[in-house]
Structure 1
Amino acid sequence: MSSHVLQQTPPRKKYILASVAVGAFLSTFDGGVVNVGLPKMAAEFRVSISMIQWVPSVYLLTMSALLIIFGTLADMYGRKHIYNGGYAVVAVFSILCALTNNISLLILTRMLQGVGGAMIMANGLAIATENYPPEQRGKNIGTLASVAAIGSLAGPSLGGIVIGLWGWRWIFILNCLVAALGFTVSHLIIPADRGKGKGKAKKFDAWGSLYVIVGMVSFIYAISNLNDFGWSSPIILISLALFLLSVLAVAIQERRAENPVLDFELFKVRIFWTSIIAALISFITMYSSTILIPFYYQKVLGYSPQAAGLFMMAFPLGMAVMAVFAGRLSDKIGYALLTTGGMVLNALALILLAHVGLRTPLVQVLLAVFGMGASLGLFQAPNNSCIMGNVPKNKLGIATGISQLVKNLGMVLGITLSVAVFQYGMRARTGLAYSDAFAPSAATVYYLAAGLSIVGAFFSLNRGHSKPLPIVNGKKA
């Protein structure tokens, strides 16, 4: 009997990873497929760009506010029900998004869809980590990173096709189908949670959760709108003040909470907090460059939006290719060399982009963008393996929530900082044509991002361990 169970274990584990991969795909697919439909939505509802931008923004805000909370809840009460419930929530509210007849309802349904997105994202890495032995962790996380990159490739292309054939409402039907697939396979394949019954007796940190939600929403809202409103805007100042008060409240509350929603004990471990800082830096550099590249393709080189979208695929393609390789290699040689090398190569790719101009061959630009994606793929899969391999199993949910939150924060900070620096450079060159002013203004952004990548390499190299800590019987050795 035991022999039969052992024979059945490997294929079942493969299916578990495949089911989690659906969530990794959905996490990036959603953004791409929805963003491509924003112009059509704005035209139908007769609203401005600033209003329609809330359709993706409210989803990001909701997820960011709830990631840590759902990660903690999963650690307490079990992952499967929360993870599966996330797919159900996304599927239901995707249908409602497709049926809405005004912009306010669409924004509301997207916010509720973001609740489901947080339930999924806060648990995917944790499920993949706890159901496989440590020696397969890097390979699996690399596979998930590659699938996520494929999702970012598929979103805009499939979204454009669907909108062209049937209209923007069908992109949410497409989202629903992916979520329904995720719910079905995870319900059938992911094993039931064990040993979580005792967690029901624990007291949930409601006040800490509230402070975290207020803090995340106020911070991301302030940073996202900083370039539009300016530092002196009352709404920005109020949001930042609310964020600082929330940070203080969280610090006070979590010290006395029986089961803190944000466990500061994790940040006492050097290898954890250095990996988190390195991850934040990597995402800042990623989005600080990719936000400007479409403008270079369209407004400097004169390509159509369709061609620019095709050229943008070089970045996620590089990441998808490298992530699988890096994840597998990290299981054999550890993560320090790979993550540090990834950040250094990212800096070199950014410097190469800084020398791109009006007469630069397109192939050279594509190679630089592909190289940047590959270098970040080299960094992120081993870095995530490091994070997940150096926390106790009963903290995998909160660790996943923090790592996914860092991605969202990096995106917001990268876009905000790069746009601010770029706009400053363009204003300083108001006498030049746009194509002439673009290259030096963008180059400043790329050089700053390259310098930041070197800082990230320093944190990556000095995290304290050259190999993941061993795990014995689910506990740190």
Structure 2
Amino acid sequence: MRKWGPLTAICLSTFMLLLDVTIVVVALPDMAHSLDASLSDLQWVVDGYALALAALLLGAGAAADIVGRRRVHVAGVVVFAVASLLCGVSSGPGMLVAARVLQGLGAAAMFATTLPLLGSVYQGRERGAALGVWGAVSGAAAAVGPLLGGVLTEGPGWRWIFFVNVPVSVVTVWLSLKVVPESRGTRGMRGMRVDWAGMATFAVFAGGMTYAMVRAGEHGWASAGTSTAFGLAAAALVAFVLVERRVAHPLLDLALLGKPAFVGVLVGALAFDGVAFGVIAYESIWMQTLLGMDPVDGGLALLPLPAAAMVVAMTVGALSHRVTARWTIVAGLLLLAAGSFAQAFLDAGSDWTSLVLGLVLVGVGTGLLSPTVSGAALAAVPAERSGMAGGVVNTLRQLGYALMVAVYGTVLTSRMGDTLPHDAAHTLAGGGAAFLRHGFPEHVLRSAFASGLNSALVTAGSAGLVAGLAVLALVRGPRRAAGTGGDTAPAEQAPVTGQ
């Protein structure tokens, strides 16, 4: 227990926080029916968690280095558990979204401290073994999420996808306090202060952008509320840049943005999760409300993606010494694009098998990107900035996911609006097909949803293609991702702060 207990505790928390990114996907139709939730409500159930995680990830890591990583990690698990309980007892969509945001705050404290804690406990070969187990657990969480969500939703009900976190959190807190030693940053960090202003302005920027995207789908791009939200996001971004230029210890060293290779990796990270996973929520709604699949079958239908990702991720390390990170990331993004385009041929007669080839391609691309994108960021910056680089990459992955879920919802309903009235399009996209069947023929509803999904998938494919070309243009040279056999420091020496 003393030797591998810390790894067990950290892997338990990692599994929970990553599971909750995807476990809600197949439960969305049941949530909509139970809570009378709209499409924008469902978008915020997904986005509230990812957005809070993205907004506070960097700040949580910096705070943990100063006040204690175990202390912040345990506090995050407690917040996560309380929020999970609130999610499970939610009486309406507003309460559920608020609880999901609180869950994301706890998850940020957990996620930001996982790898630093592992790095402080394990050294040498033991650290390599611990990181391997942690990586496998991270991949398993993504693979199990939709299926476990389907089983719980169809069995005891969707609320249990949150209730199950509570006993696991209790075990995690007990084990962390018992076997995980406290650790902090280096001595030179003792005089550092947390960049609260940077955290606040970045959170306002991320939240404002996401809110604007969601609102645009419901009220239009030209509405006053949408324009105000975009304006607030822009002002917050300017404020964030000004803050980061002035503070002594910024969340993001803006000088790093002068390195084209680092910028290229950031573009790839921003596109990664949004392109790979952002449309899945709407595909799940389509399968359950239009094709009549139950939550378990819906979860099983999505398995080709995480299954392919796990197989590729486990084998990519053996080949990494032959291919530079530049080409691995480019290939991964182009495969995400190809997989998205391959799914964009749906019509009123399509079923779930129409998605399989595209899901496999996206899974292969995900398997290439997952082990390399953070390491490539580390290789592009000085060693003393490696922790910051890893944190920024994972922040942008979560932010990209939150933003693209909102974008796809807007594209989906806009395309449906060519066939259906505005309100009907939003009802259909939000899982309300049953309420529309008395007024519209079945083939009209299926055709409208299929065309909306096609447009969302083309948008995803285009984003992946543009990101791939940007990485190709910006990331130069033979340097490989850290820890993948290249000419950089091994991964066990890189204090990354994310997945």
Deviation string, structure 1 residues 173-215 (Cα, Å, up to 9, x no partner): 3112333344345445555425545433223333233222222
2:438 matched to which residue of 1?
none
1:417 matched to which residue of 2?
407
Give the TM-score normalised by the residue count of structure 1.
0.80
1:385 matched to which residue of 2?
375
Match of 2:465 among 454, 457, 464: 454
Residues 306/247 of structure 1: CA separation in 2 closer, same or farther (3 Å cut): same
2:57 matched to which residue of 1?
67
Residues 99/233 of structure 1: CA separation in 2 closer, same or farther (3 Å cut): same
Give the TM-score normalised by the residue count of structure 2.
0.77
- Residue 392 of structure 1 deviates from its aligned partner by 5.4
Match of 1:323 among 300, 307, 313: 313
Q: Is the 8 A contact 2:50 2:401 kept in 1?
A: no
1:402 matched to which residue of 2?
392
Bigger share in helix: 1
- Residue 311 of structure 1 deviates from its aligned partner by 0.5
Partner AA of 1:454 in structure 2:
L
In 2, distance between residues paired with 1:41 and 1:170?
A: 12
Q: Is the 8 A contact 1:275 1:386 kept in 2?
A: yes
Match of 1:221 among 211, 219, 223: 211
Moved more, 307-316 or 98-107: 98-107
Moved more, 217-226 or 71-80: 71-80
1:367 matched to which residue of 2?
357
Match of 1:90 among 43, 66, 80: 80
- Residue 43 of structure 1 deviates from its aligned partner by 6.3
The alignment status of 1:342 with 2:361, answered yes or no, reads no
Partner AA of 1:460 in structure 2:
V
- 1:170-181 aligned at under 5 Å gives the runs 170-181=160-171
Residues 277/130 of structure 1: CA separation in 2 closer, same or farther (3 Å cut): farther
Deviation string, structure 1 residues 77-132 (Cα, Å, up to 9, x no partner): 45333223312321244345556667666555443332211111223345556777
How many residue pairs end up in the alignment? Answer: 466
In 1, distance between residues paired with 2:455 and 2:93?
A: 38
Deviation string, structure 1 residues 247-303 (Cα, Å, up to 9, x no partner): 111222221111123322332333322111012122232245434433554566554
Over aligned residue pairs, what C-alpha RMSD do you find? 4.0
- Residue 150 of structure 1 deviates from its aligned partner by 2.6
Could you tell me the percent identity over the aligned residues?
25
5+ unaligned residues in a row in structure 2: which ranges?
A: 421-440
Partner AA of 1:457 in structure 2:
G
Deviation string, structure 1 residues 7-28 (Cα, Å, up to 9, x no partner): x9xx95x766554433332223
Partner AA of 1:219 in structure 2:
M
Deviation string, structure 1 residues 25-55 (Cα, Å, up to 9, x no partner): 2223224445555666666666666557655
1:236 matched to which residue of 2?
226
Partner AA of 2:468 in structure 1:
A
The alignment status of 1:470 with 2:488, answered yes or no, reads yes
Moved more, 175-184 or 276-285: 175-184
Residues 408/246 of structure 1: CA separation in 2 closer, same or farther (3 Å cut): same
Deviation string, structure 1 residues 279-336 (Cα, Å, up to 9, x no partner): 2122232245434433554566554454233202222222222222224543675423
Partner AA of 1:340 in structure 2:
V
Match of 1:80 among 57, 67, 70: 70
5+ unaligned residues in a row in structure 1: which ranges?
A: 1-7
1:5 matched to which residue of 2?
none
In 2, distance between residues paired with 1:300 and 1:41?
A: 16
In 2, distance between residues paired with 1:292 and 1:105?
A: 22
Q: Is the 8 A contact 1:274 1:463 kept in 2?
A: yes
The alignment status of 1:264 with 2:254, answered yes or no, reads yes
